[in-house]
Amino acid sequence: MPHDPLHTDQARFKWRELDRAEPPKRAAAERISDFHEIYSLFDEATIREQASRCVQCESPACVTGCPLGNQIPKWMALAAEGKFLEAAELSRSTSAMPEICPRVCPQEKLCEASCVMSPAESVCIGAIEKFINEYALARGAGKVPIAPPNGKRVAVIGAGPGGLACADLLSQWGYAVTVFESQLLPGGLLLFGIPAFKLEKEVVERRANILRQQGVEFKVGVTVGKDITLTQLRDDFGAVYLGIGALKAKPLDCPGAELKNVLQGLPFLAQKNAPIALGLPPVDVRGKRVVVLGGGDSAMDCLRTAIRCGAADTVCAYRRDLANMPGSRKEYANALEEGARFLFLTNPIALEGNAAGEVTAVRCVRMELGEPDASGRRKPRAVKGSEFTLPADLVLIAYGFDPVPFPATSDLSQVAVNDWGAIKTDENQMTNLPGVFAGGDVVRGPSLVVHAVRDGRKAAEGIDRYLSAP
């Protein structure tokens, strides 16, 4: 058997000598004055060391912990040897956006949570994935082979991560892919939701350009159902992928919700973060006391954006406790470092306003966790007599999203949805309409970038099977 330095016992136990390292992060005081990413890359020596901490498990749980089934131990072995380009090639083979996922994935709940050395000592998979792929992209590598045109056409509706992932795989297989996108730039929530301090907009633009080089055509500023019908697309293309997201914000249901300066979180984030003017009304945050309602990624992003926009105080009110908060722990820690405050087990019951109709306070009640509900999470219930008032000049609602209902007049309404409006799909991601596929948030409800990428790739496989059938 040839000598393999990574499979000697000595190499397998590198983690005993080397602690997990965290990627360099800018100090909170510095980073809150701009919207640039807060993490930078490890140097090459550290990457090799950190990758060598991978135990090379025979049945690697990190691979099953990654929704994309990324071949993590294999690229760890290559990275440990300094073969960064080979590592990146392998990483790219299972992911449409291997430089974007490491920036936004909650690794502490996915691959790194599955590492045998988890939690404190897990291999820093995300930081290594980001390094190898940035290394390759900086050297003009990271490209995938493109098959000659196969003469078949596919329409992708929505240029979020799911639509882009579907377009990526199909274009590699020789399909002519046209992406129809309502916004003027491709990227979906990568561009108009997730703030630049987590994912700089140039990174998304670079990925869209790679797709253009692969032959993907983008038709931006086109809303399917308004500017063009689904029927037209089904006539013109062999298959259609619906990756239109879930962008209908859940409302705040309490008295005073209609007061001035009570805003939905997503338009606020888009107004502050989008790389182009969206015509949204400006929101002045300077010197304001900001209360963010909710406990997901959007809530963390609202807090951190408000801080960067000069808020005097930023408080998150969330009805469950930290253990049950859906937002990423990494981003929670970052928000704390940047000065956000958290009130757990706290729910708004009314908003108070002044004579000008502007919000002045959030009336809250303390909560306690009761019995588990149908989802298995303990249900919060109000504690009698525990009401208190939280001063507020700006309230941002971050309660999550539902799919936007299709207008009854649009032929999109032929697509079958479940009782909360999410598109129903089969095991190939195909909807009730033959040749019409769907994935990402419009199928799952609000989820993760990596899940949308996974759905887009799975749908591409389904489309390929559908269009290859005799």
Ligand X SMILES: Cc1cc2nc3c(=O)[nH]c(=O)nc-3n(C[C@H](O)[C@H](O)[C@H](O)COP(=O)(O)OP(=O)(O)OC[C@H]3O[C@@H](n4cnc5c(N)ncnc54)[C@H](O)[C@@H]3O)c2cc1C
* Among 62, 105, 211, 259, interactor with ligand X by CB under 6 A: 105
Residue 243 Cβ vs ligand X, minimum distance, rounded to whole Å: 4
Place of tokens 């079958």: 416
* Among 449, 460, 463, 467, interactor with ligand X by CB under 6 A: 449
Binding of residue 327 to ligand X (CB under 6 A)? no
* Among 161, 256, 295, 462, interactor with ligand X by CB under 6 A: 161
Binding of residue 159 to ligand X (CB under 6 A)? yes
Beta-bridge mates of residue 39: 25
Q: How many CA atoms lie within 13 A of 286 on its CB side?
A: 3
Residue 440 Cβ vs ligand X, minimum distance, rounded to whole Å: 2
Binding of residue 233 to ligand X (CB under 6 A)? no
Cβ atoms of residues 462 and 428 within 8 Å:
yes
What tokens appear for 200 in the block?
Answer: 């700089």
* Among 78, 351, 448, 460, interactor with ligand X by CB under 6 A: 448
Residue 435 Cβ vs ligand X, minimum distance, rounded to whole Å: 18
Beta-bridge mates of residue 417: 423
CA proximity to 306, closest of 280, 272, 334, 330: 272
Residue 390 Cβ vs ligand X, minimum distance, rounded to whole Å: 22
Q: Rounded to an integer, what distance in angstroms lies between the CA atom of residue 196 and that of residue 397?
A: 20
Produce one character per residue of 338-358: b if its CB has 16 or more CB atoms within 10 Å, e if not.
bebebbbbbbbeebbbeeeee
Find the binding residues for ligand X in span 176-215 (CB under 6 A).
180-183, 188-189, 193-194, 198
* Among 89, 129, 134, 297, interactor with ligand X by CB under 6 A: 297
What is the DSSP track for 165-212?
A: HHHHHHHHTT-EEEEEESSSSS-THHHHTS-TTTS-HHHHHHHHHHHH
Radius of gyration for the chain, computed over Cα atoms and rounded to the nearest angstrom: 23
* Among 72, 155, 208, 269, interactor with ligand X by CB under 6 A: 269
Nearer to ligand X, 51 or 170 (CB): 170
Residue 286 Cβ vs ligand X, minimum distance, rounded to whole Å: 22
Residue 397 Cβ vs ligand X, minimum distance, rounded to whole Å: 12
For the four alpha carbons of 212, 217, 223 and 224, in that order, the dihedral sign comes to negative
Binding of residue 35 to ligand X (CB under 6 A)? no
Angle, vertex CA 174, rays to CA 172 and CA 180, nearest 5: 80
For residue 276, the tally of other CB atoms under 10 A from its CB is 11
For residue 114, the Cα-to-chain-centroid distance in whole angstroms is 19
Find the binding residues for ligand X in span 414-443 (CB under 6 A).
440-442
Q: Rounded to an integer, what distance in angstroms lies between the CA atom of residue 405 and that of residue 225?
A: 12
Binding of residue 23 to ligand X (CB under 6 A)? no
* Among 224, 262, 292, 467, interactor with ligand X by CB under 6 A: 224
* Among 245, 294, 403, 462, interactor with ligand X by CB under 6 A: 245
Residue 384 Cβ vs ligand X, minimum distance, rounded to whole Å: 34
Cβ atoms of residues 18 and 80 within 8 Å:
no
Residues interacting with ligand X, by CB under 6 A? Answer: 104-105, 157-163, 180-183, 188-189, 193-194, 198, 223-225, 243-245, 247, 266, 269, 297-298, 301, 440-442, 446-450, 452
